[in-house]
Amino acid sequence: MELYGVQRWGSGYFDVDKEGNLLVRPNKNELQTANVKAIVDRLVKKKIGFPVLLRFPQILDHRVNELHESFNDAISRYEYGGKYQAVFPIKVNQRKEVVLELLKAGKKYGYGLEVGTKSELLAALALDPKPSSLLVCNGFKDERFANLAFDASLVKEKLIIVLDEIGELPTIFEQAKSLGHMPLLGVRVKLHMRGAGRWISSGGELAKFGLSGSDVLDIVESLKKEGHLDKLRMLHFHLGSQITHIKRIQDAIREAARLYAELHKMGVDIEYLNVGGGLGVDYDGSKSVSESSMNYSMQEYANNVVYIMNLVCEEEGVPPPTLVSESGRAVTAHHSLLVFNVKGKMHADQDPEKVKIAEEDPIVLSELRDTYVELNKKNFVEYYHDALILKEDLVNMFNLAQIDLRQLASGEILFKGICQKASEFAKDTGNRSKEFENLRNIVASRYICNFSVFQSLPDYWGVGQLFPVMPIHRLNEPPDQYGTLLDATCDSDGEIDQFIDIRDIKEVLELHSLGDQPYYIGIFLLGAYQDTLGDFHNLFGSVNEAHVHLKNGEWQIKQIIKGSTVGEVLSLFKYDREWMTTAFKKLVENVTSKGKVERKEAKKILKDYEREVEEYTYLKF
Ligand SMILES: *Cc1c(COP(=O)(O)O)cnc(C)c1O
């Protein structure tokens, strides 16, 4: 638990039992636990192939409750006169089952949705049939999007069209004229205060979205002139996702609160102050301002929003607005994890002890062997440096045809053994020099793993986002290997070699030796953004999914959703099944008719081709 930081990033949802298996506690309740290894064993029995994504819908419920309760708690603590109302920004995870679960959990709080495109609006209207829940429409609006939102506003009382840029206003006026009504409106402002962390550029004056102070004044004037000022109800800002530093949130709320007060004094009856997203997730568990972390808790976030709003409203003598937040990442990240099996190591572990040196072998080989044998705690720095020169000699001799491949290979095994020993001595003696730290990466094993970085954790590849990674069993055995994870794609970016660490970033992960039994690794906190950003690189498709539910202390697999078959992925890229089979058949027939392949064999080739189209896209072992 300490080594992999389970408690630091797990937020109470993850634990390890005495048998060394990873546990999930969807309600943070000691009595409600799911043993991930047992779930995986059950899936194997059901012949569900790896990788498999495990979803725990009850974690979603718990997060929704925690978010609302944090705000409600802050509201009573500071005796804030307004309410809190959240909306789920659907772009964070558009999966139907996920959104439905969130809405179900949030029903008692009036949890609503936020959309940023026409497609998302269409989905939201089907997902949330309550006429009274909040529906926030952000994003660039063309005539069609606006028209759809106007229509929807007749059946959704609390639909708010947020103006993201000044040019949207004429479109809104045109719709209002032709349709004869005006929905509730909001303005998205660009604050001078910026966020912090990876998405810092989503806020500040140069941000892609948001209105400047003068834009807002223009809009207020125009709305007044057209007689629609009473429809302007929401003041919205969004600092960008994963805000690492609480100070930035404090500064932003203060600026937004001042804007709210100013608008109020101008006679604009703003009902909602929408603080957007940005509430972070502590992926590396360091509670720091590193990009994969955050230096505050959900409760602290809520406290700051409520406290500052309260303070400013009292100072300015304006009524407290309903506080809205669009937290997506913090609500969804914890609920899913990916489990996959390991095929083996990229290179065999050769035992340097077994290297035999013959009489006719060059002296460089016996020198390498002596270095290996005599290397110890005292001399390892010097001996390692000697070995570097010997290794260079060895390669030069091979290139000059002075030694053969067998001799080169023997030398390589001995050199690797020296590196391994030196790296262990460096660790034992607390030698932290860069040279020996790099050595640990050189001697690390490369585990071949059954998943695709591009499909399952695109943010690792795209923006260097770190996720917790660890074996889901054997956690009562000390891991004796260092390794990186190679994915199943043939892209050299398809490798995980950056791992969370309390202080730094680790380039290798502590792993167990592979034995006869399968070895399973999990990647955690994948529930935000990864589901739809994932792509089909190398034609690896969407993964098998199992939804796990706990009831009376027992876990059960409630639903299994099969991942893509080869045929499904191919058809996404317009490979029509019939076209493919016909084309391949032509090739086979061409060869068969020339007598190069027998009829019987040709039949088998074609059958195999058609069978594979039905299979899961990942590796089978
Ligand atoms: C993406 C987005 C969010 C969600 O942000 P999180 O950091 O995931 O909570 C909220 N509001 C808007 C406008 C967004 O674009």
Residue 114 and residue 245 in one domain: yes
pLDDT of residue 427: 87
Rounded-to-integer distance, Cα 149 and Cα 183, Å: 8
pLDDT digits (tens, 9 = 90+) for 16-63: 999 999 999 999 998 899 999 999 999 999 999 999 999 999 999 999
Decide: 326 in ligand 1 pocket, CB within 6 A.
yes
Q: How far is the CA of 151 from the centre of ligand 1 (A)?
A: 25
Residue of 220, 144, 149, 147 lying closest to 187 (CA atoms): 220
In this structure, what token pair is assigned to residue 587?
A: 């090739």
User: Among 135-144, 311-320, 434-443, 554-563, where is mean pLDDT lowest?
Assistant: 434-443
| Cβ neighbour number for residue 30 with a 10 Å cutoff | 10
- Is 402 found in the same domain as 378? yes
Q: Alpha carbon of 229 to those of 225, 232, 602: distances in Å? A: 8, 6, 75
- In angstroms, rounded to a whole number, what is the distance separating the alpha carbons of residues 602 and 91? 48
**Does residue 310 share a domain with residue 385?**
no
Helix, strand, coil content of the chain in percent (nearest 5): 45, 15, 40
**Same-domain check for residues 192 and 88:** yes
- Quick one: average pLDDT of 273-302? 96
292 & 375 share domain = no
Ligand 1 neighbourhood includes 210 CB (under 6 angstroms): no
pTM of the model: 0.94
Same domain, 250 and 272: yes
Q: Match 């032709």 to its residue by tokens.
A: 178
* DSSP-based three-state secondary structure for 422: helix
Residue 195 has pLDDT above 80, yes or no: no
| pLDDT tens-place string over residues 555-605 | 999 999 999 999 999 999 999 999 999 999 999 999 999 999 999 999 999
Task: Mark whether 253 and 373 lie in a shared domain.
Answer: no
Place of tokens 């680790």: 506
Predicted confidence band of residue 437 (pLDDT cuts 50, 70, 90)? confident
The answer as to whether 39 is a domain residue is: no
Q: Please report, rounded to a whole number, the percentage of residues in the chain having pLDDT higher than 70.
A: 99
Residues 6+ apart with CB under 8 A from 557: 39, 42, 43, 546, 547, 548, 549
Distance 92 CA to ligand 1 centre (A): 7
Q: Dump pLDDT digits (tens) for 464-490.
A: 999 999 999 999 999 999 999 999 999
Residue 18 lies in a domain: no
Cβ(500) – ligand 1 distance below 6 Å:
no
Write out the two tokens for 577. 């099944």
Q: What is the 3-state secondary structure (H, E, C) of 567-615?
A: HHHHHHCCCCHHHHHHHHHHHHHHHHHCCCCCHHHHHHHHHHHHHHHCC
Say if 16 falls within a structural domain: no
Of 518, 533, 548, the residue at which a domain comes to its end is 533
Q: Are 466 and 500 in contact (CB under 8 A)?
A: yes
Mutate to test the pocket of ligand 1, among 64, 67, 92 (most ligand atoms within 8 A of CB): 92
What's the 126 CA to ligand 1 centre distance in angstroms? 21
One domain for residues 171 and 68: yes
Q: Helical H runs in 464-565?
A: 530-533
CA–CA separation, 593 and 496 (whole Å): 48
Residue 280 CA: which ligand 1 atom is closest? Answer: 7
Q: Is the pLDDT of residue 192 over 90?
A: no
Residue 520 covered by a domain? yes
| pLDDT value at 205 more than 70 | no
* Residue 63 near ligand 1, beta carbon < 6 Å: no
Report residue 349's pLDDT band, with 50, 70 and 90 as the boundaries. confident
Residue at which a domain ends, from 533, 554, 587: 533
Whether the pLDDT of residue 71 is over 70: the answer is yes
Given a cut of 80, is residue 196 above it in pLDDT?
no
51 cis-preceded (ω within 30 degrees of 0): yes
* Residue whose CA lies nearest to ligand 1 atom number 10: 277
Kindly state if the Cβ of 276 falls inside 6 Å of ligand 1. Answer: yes
pLDDT at 199 > cutoff 80: no
Q: Domain total for the chain? A: 3
Residues paired with residue 266 on neighbouring β-strands, in sequence order: none
Ligand 1 and 277: CB distance under 6 A: yes
Take residue 217 and report the two structure tokens written for it.
């004044």
473 lies in the same domain as 381: yes
Backbone φ/ψ region at 278: left (φ over 0), alpha (ψ -120 to 50), beta: left
* 253: pLDDT strictly greater than 70: yes
389 & 243 share domain? no
Q: What percent of the chain has pLDDT over 90?
A: 90
Please report the pLDDT score of residue 197 as a whole number.
Answer: 73
Cβ of residue 241 lying under 6 Å from some atom of ligand 1: yes
* Largest Cα–Cα separation, the chain: 101
| 266 and 355 in a common domain | no
Q: Is 349 within a domain?
A: yes
In a domain, 13, yes or no: no
Strands of 331-379 (E only): list them. 336-345
Which stretch of 253-257, 430-434, 453-457 has the lowest confidence by average pLDDT? Answer: 430-434
User: 88: CA distance to ligand 1 center in Å?
Assistant: 9
The β-bridge partners of 293 are none
Asked whether residue 549 is assigned to any structural domain, the reply reads no
* Centroid of ligand 1 to alpha carbon of 37 (angstroms): 34
- The span from the CA of 347 to the CA of 419, in Å, is 15
Distance 330 CA to ligand 1 centre (A): 10
- How far apart (Å, rounded) are the C-alpha atoms in residues 524 and 37? 15
Q: Indicate the residue among 327, 352, 373 that finishes a domain.
A: 327
Domain that holds residue 312: 57-327
Residues 283, 368, single domain; the answer is no
89 lines ligand 1 (CB under 6 A): yes
Task: Read off the tokens for 120.
Answer: 């998302």
Q: Is 555 left (phi over 0), alpha (psi -120 to 50) or beta?
A: beta
- Contact yes or no for 402/392 (Cβ under 8 A): no
Taking the centre of ligand 1 as the mean of its atom positions, its distance from the CA of residue 304, in whole angstroms, is 18
How far is residue 476's CA from residue 388's CA, in Å, rounded to a whole number? 37
CATH number at 320 reads: 3.20.20.10
**Dihedral-angle region of residue 361 (phi above 0 means left; psi in -120 to 50 means alpha; beta otherwise):** beta
Any ligand 1 atom below 6 A from CB of 531: no
Domain of residue 408, CATH code: 1.20.58.930
Tell me, yes or no, whether 299 lies in a domain. yes
